[in-house]
Amino acid sequence: NAFPRAGGRARFSPTRPLPPDEPVDEAYPIVLTTGRLLEHWHTGAMTRRSRVLDEREPEAAAYLAPAELDRMGVTSGNDIQITTRRGSITLTARADQTMLEGMVFVPFAFVEAAANLLTNPALDPFGKIPEFKYAACRLSPA
């Protein structure tokens, strides 16, 4: 196997990550990240129609480290409000041991959760990819 280049060898170019367009600050001290769940992928257009998958994860939740829930004075199952510079949504909090403190994860396959109302549409200057995976937010009990 060869790469489609002269000599058939790959060419690697090092890169340095750019800082986020919207770093955390005093007003928005938590990192919001979005993504998929095992049960729901793409936009949920097909998986949300699957009764088996939708029964397993029927609604969006906000996934946080247990220490973040403690800091807010809420427990898993309580509603919290997530606010960015673009909007606010309310979701049920879910303790997740794999989440880092200072972060909240929201799945985007739930139209009723509207995670993309919160995300930052700023474009990477090179790849022109929107910064949907990182936004500064604040959390509060709902």
Angle at 1 between CA 11 and CA 10, to 5 degrees: 0
CA-nearest of 115, 120, 116 to 131 is 120
Residue 70 in domain: yes
Q: What is the pLDDT of residue 129?
A: 86
**pTM, to two decimals:** 0.80
Residue 110 in domain: yes
pLDDT above 90 for 138: yes
Q: Total structural domains in the chain?
A: 1
- Other CB atoms closer than 10 Å to residue 28's CB: what's the count? 18
Residue 13 in domain: no
Residue 4 in domain: no
Residue 7 in domain: no
Q: Mean pLDDT, to the nearest integer, of 113-135?
A: 86
Residue 125 in domain: yes
Q: Which domain holds residue 59?
A: 22-141
pLDDT above 90 for 26: yes
pLDDT above 70 for 61: yes
86 vs 111, residue with greater confidence: 86
DSSP 8-state symbol, 57: S
Cβ density class 65-86: b for 16+ within 10 Å, e for less: beebbeebebeeeeebebbbee
CATH code: domain of residue 47: 2.40.40.20
